């Protein structure tokens, strides 16, 4: 397969129009067979549920080339089931999990020329999404839906690679106390736009959101969960009903315990505890693991001693092991690697 003529080592995290996308429609209570199509544009009625009441959810995963030349995805079954959870929260019909996996396979195969080669640092980002499409003016869920998958090759999410970033404690809440913070939906991202623009204007890479009820507990950033390392090498990661259950974070917990023999704590994390941690990182499909060197709390700095200049030693081990498993140089737990081709 002839690859596209792209400078794979130098692409950013942006959108490129690939050749094909997947689409399936839901009408009269059932999903149609779905198809690979070439038109990247969507034409919808002006009153479609997605426009009026933001009835839309999405997922994000990656396909990449392993050292031995296979195209694979990392734990896509978890994306499939999480999308069902997100859809149900917004009263949308679930897209069947086996069909989700089949659709990912079809769309990646169709776009094989866009899958970056092994070792380039780039990957093919896969974005499944679903929306209400028939006209809705009274407040109610739509009756008809469209499920789509687009793909686009991407480079690293944070510029500068492994260099630790500085983030700020957000002036805004990410989610309502008993809201929908645990689903992957544009509505949460819409609410995060003002805080992220403000953070960037002030020179920070991201926000740390605290729980909106008490603002004493650590939640997550706009699109990644937190991991912390204590001074004696324990992995601590926040537990909350209003953060997105990151697949990367769940995988890191297994890697820490089973591969590196670390102690793992998944629990509520108070903001006041942060000063005692040695390392901090952001984890998600897009970010993989990005080290955080400093957190700015309205002028007061919290510095992570082991990870200010470069990725701290435990974060680095977690990063190397996780990416080794993903790239096929370290043996993966059963079922983690889904072969496309």
Ligand X SMILES: *Cc1c(COP(=O)(O)O)cnc(C)c1O
Which residues are catalytically annotated?
184
Quick one: residue 34, left, alpha or beta (phi over 0 = left, psi -120 to 50 = alpha)? Answer: left
Q: What whole-number distance in Å separates Cα of residue 147 and Cα of residue 55?
A: 12
Nearer to ligand X, 63 or 244 (CB): 244
Judged by CB under 6 A, the residue of 122, 146, 247, 289 near ligand X is 247
**Closest approach of ligand X to the CB of residue 151, in Å:** 16
Binding mask 51-80 for ligand X (x = CB under 6 A): ---------x--------------------
Which among 12-20, 123-131, 241-249, 308-316 is the span making contact with ligand X, rule CB under 6 A? 241-249
Q: Encoding tokens for residue 97?
A: 């999990």
**Closest approach of ligand X to the CB of residue 322, in Å:** 11
Nearer to ligand X, 257 or 309 (CB): 257
Q: Is 246 in the site for ligand X (CB under 6 A)?
A: yes
Which residues, in sequence order, are bridge partners of residue 151? 126
Q: DSSP label at 256? A: I
Which residues, in sequence order, are CB contacts of 46 under 8 Å at separation 6+?
135
**Binding to ligand X (CB under 6 A): which residues in 206-235?**
220, 223-225
Q: What whole-number distance in Å separates Cα of residue 275 and Cα of residue 126?
A: 37
Quick one: residue 106, left, alpha or beta (phi over 0 = left, psi -120 to 50 = alpha)? Answer: alpha
**Closest approach of ligand X to the CB of residue 227, in Å:** 11
Judged by CB under 6 A, the residue of 184, 217, 316, 317 near ligand X is 184
Judged by CB under 6 A, the residue of 132, 284, 291, 293 near ligand X is 284
Q: What whole-number distance in Å separates Cα of residue 190 and Cα of residue 290?
A: 23
Contact 309, 183 (CB under 8 A): no
Q: What whole-number distance in Å separates Cα of residue 308 and Cα of residue 295?
A: 11
Judged by CB under 6 A, the residue of 111, 120, 237, 285 near ligand X is 285
Which among 30-38, 83-91, 157-165, 239-247 is the span making contact with ligand X, rule CB under 6 A? 239-247
Q: Encoding tokens for residue 37?
A: 């199509």
Note the residues at the interface with ligand X (CB under 6 A): 60, 184, 220, 223-225, 244, 246-249, 284-285
């Amino acid at each position: 397969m002839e690859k596209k003529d792209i400078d794979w080592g130098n692409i950013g995290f942006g959108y490129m129009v690939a050749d094909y996308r997947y689409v399936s429609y839901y009408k009269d209570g059932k999903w149609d067979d779905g198809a690979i199509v070439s038109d990247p544009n969507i034409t919808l009625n002006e009153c479609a549920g997605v426009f009026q009441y933001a009835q839309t959810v999405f997922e994000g995963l990656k396909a990449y080339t392993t050292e031995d030349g296979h195209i694979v995805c990392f734990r896509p079954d978890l994306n499939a089931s999480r999308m069902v959870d997100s859809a149900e929260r917004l009263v949308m019909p679930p897209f069947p999990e086996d069909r989700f996996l089949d659709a990912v396979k079809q769309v990646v195969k169709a776009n094989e020329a866009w899958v970056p080669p092994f070792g380039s640092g780039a990957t093919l980002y896969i974005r499944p999404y679903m929306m209400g499409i028939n006209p809705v003016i009274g407040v109610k869920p739509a009756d008809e839906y469209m499920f789509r998958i687009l793909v686009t090759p991407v480079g690293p999410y944070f510029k500068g690679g492994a260099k630790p970033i500085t983030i700020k404690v957000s002036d805004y809440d990410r989610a309502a106390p008993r809201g929908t913070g645990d689903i992957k939906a544009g509505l949460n991202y819409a609410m995060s736009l003002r805080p992220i623009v403000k953070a960037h204007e002030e020179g920070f890479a991201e926000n740390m959101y605290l729980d909106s009820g008490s603002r004493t507990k650590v939640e997550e950033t706009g699109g990644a969960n937190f991991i912390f390392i204590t001074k004696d090498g324990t992995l601590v990661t926040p537990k909350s009903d209003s953060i997105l259950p990151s697949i990367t974070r769940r995988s890191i917990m297994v890697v820490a315990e089973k591969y590196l023999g670390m102690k793992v704590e998944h629990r509520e994390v108070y903001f006041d505890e942060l000063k005692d941690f040695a390392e901090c990182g952001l984890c998600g499909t897009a970010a993989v693991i990005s080290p955080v060197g400093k957190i700015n709390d309205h002028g007061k700095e919290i510095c992570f001693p082991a990870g200010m200049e470069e990725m701290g030693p435990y974060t680095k081990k977690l990063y190397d092991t996780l990416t080794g498993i993903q790239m096929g140089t370290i043996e993966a737990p059963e079922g983690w690697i889904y072969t496309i081709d």
